[in-house]
A and B are shown apart, each in its own frame.
Chain A
Amino acid sequence: MNHLPLIIKREYLTKVRNKSFIIMTFLSPIIFVGIFALVAYLSSLNNDTVRNISILDESGLFANEFTNSSTTHYKILSGTSLADAKKEAESTEIYGLLYIPKTENLESLSKEITFYSEDSPSLSLMGNINDILEREVNTLKLKEAGIDSETIKDLHINISANQETFKGMETSKLGAGLKLGFGGLAGYLLFMFIIIYGNMIMRSVIEEKTSRVIEVIISSVKPRVLLLGKIFGTTLAGVTQFLVWVILILILMAAVTSIFGIDPTSVSASGQAIEKTVDGGTQQLIQEVMMEINNLPIANLIIMFILFFVGGYLLYASMYASVGAAVDSETDTQQFMMPILMPLILAVYVGIFTVIDNPHGTVSQVFSYIPFTSPVVMLMRIPFGVPLWQQIISVVILFATFVGMVWFAAKIYRVGILMYGKKPTYKEIFKWLKY
């Protein structure tokens, strides 16, 4: 008599048929894409406004340096006084007035330039204006010192150091970013998965206790089998939901972008990146990204992702199940959640701060062996290249701990599911292990 498939099937079907589960499965992607579309729409709205800026340049040094862009239009004033220009700027739809006084001394000039506006101007606009002024003043100063502009251009050399590992593999800043992206995404995904579906397992254990069906069930099935069936069944339901989410989000994203004509990259990309795309750098960028992706140990990543994801999830799932068995209702779970959440949060912080700083440092290494943190930390480290033997040791430790944890959880589970009424203390739970 093999009960495991039967239990997995029931757990899976109950979860998948549950109304709130179905609603969440289809609503979440819609909400997600909806928020995304809203943000994209709002930021495009913001970018559409054109700012008109008047420039009163009494020094006559900068008039030619300001060129219109899609969001800023410059208008050079001449023959008016500052007072008149201010008055005019105030009465018309002009965003601000840049005043450059006449002066002999470039150094004092730099302190006398003023920007007038109704509200405080946006940081990026001021940055742009300051850049332009600074560049011109620098050029003028150099000219004063007897260096002509051609020499200056020749002198200006762009440095971007090539990065290469000792084994001859080329690395780059872009590559590091991508690796972080991969690792971060994997770690974050696991973290979310554990919290959402771990809780689901816990609730399903509590439900069996509160409905008092548990004793009927375990007179037919070993508690360990029931525990495993619950974990696997819920995991399958979780994977189903995740897949539906990914597919729906992709479809909806495609729909939204084509309907509203929003360029998804424009939301996060900064002004500089846009400039880069405008001057035809897009293809080059994509090429670089593709090359970097090719450089990543893809096969290793995928295999390890699956192993660590499954191992890490199962480890935490069995902990959640034993918490469910120890208590009577969900409100009592608080005190037992800490030991589960602490290592999980620790893993994410170690992942974010330490791995980014030094992916192969001692702290990162240690935490990528500890089974409670290794799934997140190791997944973040692997894109940066971790020796295979280290990965294997970590996976072995993880799965060995999982087996130990199931044994431990099954003990708590076996006793806990038949205990009603009072909330156990840690001391009592420890005693249960000896029953």
Chain B
Amino acid sequence: MEKLLEVNNVSKTYGDYKALNDVSIEVEKGSIFGLLGPNGAGKTTLIRIINQITMPDTGSVILDGEPLQPHHIQYIGYLPEERGLYKTMKVGEQALYLAQLKGLSKQEAKERLKYWFNRLQIGDWWDKKIQELSKGMAQKIQFVVTVLHNPKLLIFDEPFSGFDPINANLIKDEILKLREDGATIIFSTHRMESVEEMCDHIALIHKSNKILDGRLIDIKRQYRSNIFEIGLKTTNHEVTSVLLKEKFEVFPATFKSINDELQYKVKIPDSVSPNDLVNYLTSQGQLTHFVEVIPSASDIFIETVQKN
């Protein structure tokens, strides 16, 4: 796949504090890239470097084949975590101003705003001041302003904060639609279920270093623990339990079921294949439930951060 953004060996120091240490990431065109990490890990610094708000001490950033230059800001849409709008300015005026700063002509900006305002059904807010709107309403405006100039690269830092579940879904769908239309998206969030749902690729930054990077599915494979959740109907639960515990590493498990059964998580060693486990279990009774336990993004996050 073609790369839209390459960050190569970027370091950044503030005084004595190293905010980024030799970090590299590659973002494929048309993908959704999850930038994860605990608070204060250096994500915002990296995002600010991509936005040319701060300059890296060393390393380079390549956007669409070219080293980052001032005119590139028109290809990037950025929704910062610390965001807001001019409180006393009218919605329409403000959106026009911000769009013009991104290089759109006034006429073009007006047309696109009309389209987006209709799409999100906020057309009648045009002459309202931001301070008259609720936080969620202001966030919608902020979203529109971010995507208005059809940027190739969209960077969303906690895009769902301040939205109720309905609007959060609405925004999520808009983001997915933008990706379909060809935009590449960098997505920084602490909401792991959105990562799970949306990201193709993730990178994890911790204490200024990148400690994990890759396609989400590959990372999950890498973090697979060979644990299977099983349900087994037997004639004597106690005896089977003892047998299972002798043969495998076993953890208690609970899941919804209509059967009266043994419920366990079973970890098998590398020498044993899942088929062997199934064969053994069927020999003991009736197998009602057999699922591989896939590590969640949240598990991976916690495990990796704690390990480092």
Contact = CB atoms under 8 A, between A and B. Distances in A.
B102 A14 contact: no
Interface in B13-60: 14-15, 48, 51-54
Contact of A219 (B15, B71, B78, B87): B78
Contacts of B123: none
B76 interface: yes
Contact of A212 (B14, B54, B84, B103): B84
Interface string A294-309: 0000000000000000
Interface residues of B, number: 30
A222 B52 CA distance: 9
A173 interface: no
A14 B97 CA distance: 12
B110 to A, nearest CB: 15
A220 B98 contact: yes
Contact of B85 (A7, A213, A222, A435): A213
A192 interface: no
B52 to A, nearest CB: 8
A18 to B, nearest CB: 8
Contact of B89 (A6, A14, A217, A222): A14
A220 B80 contact: no
B53 A431 contact: no
Contact of A211 (B76, B78, B87): B87
Nearest to B82: A212
Q: Place the interface of chain A in its size category.
A: 20 to 34
A63 interface: no
B14 A220 contact: no
Given A212-B84, A420-B82, A1 B71 contact: yes
Contacts, number: 64
Interface string B73-102: 110101010111111110000000110111
Interface in A140-188: none
Contact of A216 (B48, B70, B98): B98
A7 B54 CA distance: 21
Contacts of B101: 3, 6-7, 217, 220-221
Contacts of A220: 73, 98, 101-102
B53 A418 contact: yes
B4 to A, nearest CB: 17
A416 B102 CA distance: 23
A216 B80 contact: yes
Nearest to A7: B101
Interface string A1-45: 101001100100010001000000000000000000000000000
B102 to A, nearest CB: 5
B199 interface: no
A215 interface: yes
B144 to A, nearest CB: 12
A219 B77 CA distance: 8
Contacts of A82: none
Chain A at the B interface: SS class? loop
B76 A219 contact: yes
B262 interface: no
A189 B241 CA distance: 93
A18 B89 CA distance: 10
A187 B80 CA distance: 45
Contact of A218 (B53, B86, B103): B53
Given A211-B85, A211-B86, A211-B87, A6 B100 contact: yes
Contacts of A435: 14-15, 54
A111 interface: no
B10 interface: no
B162 to A, nearest CB: 12
B97 A219 contact: no
Nearest to A1: B103
A427 to B, nearest CB: 10
A215 B15 contact: no
Nearest to A431: B15
B185 interface: no
B98 A14 contact: no
A213 B100 contact: no
Contacts of A216: 78, 80, 83-85, 98, 142, 145
Contacts of A418: 48, 53
B97 A6 contact: yes
Nearest to B149: A220
Nearest to B130: A211
B86 A213 contact: yes
Contacts of B83: 212-213, 215-216
Nearest to B89: A14
Contacts of B82: 212, 215, 420
Contact of B53 (A213, A215, A434): A215
A7 B100 CA distance: 10
A219 B83 CA distance: 12
Interface in B238-291: none
Given A213-B85, A220-B73, 10 more contacts: A1-B103, A3-B101, A211-B86, A212-B82, A216-B78, A216-B98, A219-B76, A220-B101, A431-B15, A435-B54
Counting from the closest, the 5 A-B pairs by CB-CB distance are A212-B84, A220-B101, A215-B80, A219-B78, A211-B84
7 contacts: A211-B85, A211-B87, A213-B83, A217-B98, A219-B80, A220-B73, A220-B101
